[in-house]
């Protein structure tokens, strides 16, 4: 986990984001136990209540569940929920902005599609 304690983002949100990212990249698999509040608070030298507040965001989102006397576990279907949410936000955060910018630059739909095809996300060379 990589926490940036100097940002404006509250620590509990950073914890939730990091745990969500671990689920997304499948470092934490569905059904797997999440590190305990105590463990994380000791590793990060922060208040256990802060860690719990972050975890509760994920509980409320249906990504992790509390099992009485056992701890917290990644919910079945959590990965798919994250992917669906990120696909939705991808459109809002990136595609709409790109379309607006393309319009301002008078880039035609065909030219834009050609650019996208040249940078195909399935092309291994595009990420290098």
The pLDDT, as a whole number, for residue 125 is 47
Number of domains in the chain: 2
What are the pLDDT digits (tens) for 33-80? Answer: 999 999 999 999 999 999 999 999 999 999 999 999 999 999 999 999
Find the DSSP H helices in 6-126. 11-24, 37-44, 48-60, 78-90, 96-104, 109-118
Asked if residue 16 belongs to a domain, the reply is yes
User: What residues contact 1, with CB distance under 8 A and at least 6 apart?
Assistant: 15, 18, 22, 40, 43, 44
What mean pLDDT, rounded, does the chain reach?
89
Asked if residue 4 belongs to a domain, the reply is no
Query: How much is the pTM?
Result: 0.76
Mean pLDDT of 86-107: 91
Asked if residue 20 belongs to a domain, the reply is yes
59 & 103 share domain: no
67 & 95 share domain: no
pLDDT(97) > 70: yes
107 & 62 share domain: no
The pLDDT, as a whole number, for residue 120 is 61
Which range of residues forms the domain containing residue 57? 11-76
């Amino acid at each position: 986990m990589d926490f940036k304690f100097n940002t404006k983002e509250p620590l509990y949100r950073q914890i939730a984001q990091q745990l969500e990212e671990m689920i997304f990249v499948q470092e934490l698999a569905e059904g797997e136990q999440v590190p305990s509040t105590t463990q994380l608070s000791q590793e990060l030298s922060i208040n256990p209540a802060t860690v719990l507040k972050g975890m509760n965001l994920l509980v409320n989102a249906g990504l992790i569940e509390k099992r009485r006397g056992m701890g917290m576990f990644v919910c079945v279907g959590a990965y798919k929920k994250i992917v669906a949410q990120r696909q939705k936000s991808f459109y809002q955060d990136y595609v709409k902005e790109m379309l607006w910018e393309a319009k301002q630059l008078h880039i035609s739909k065909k030219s834009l599609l050609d650019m996208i095809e040249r940078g195909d996300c399935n092309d291994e060379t595009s990420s290098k």
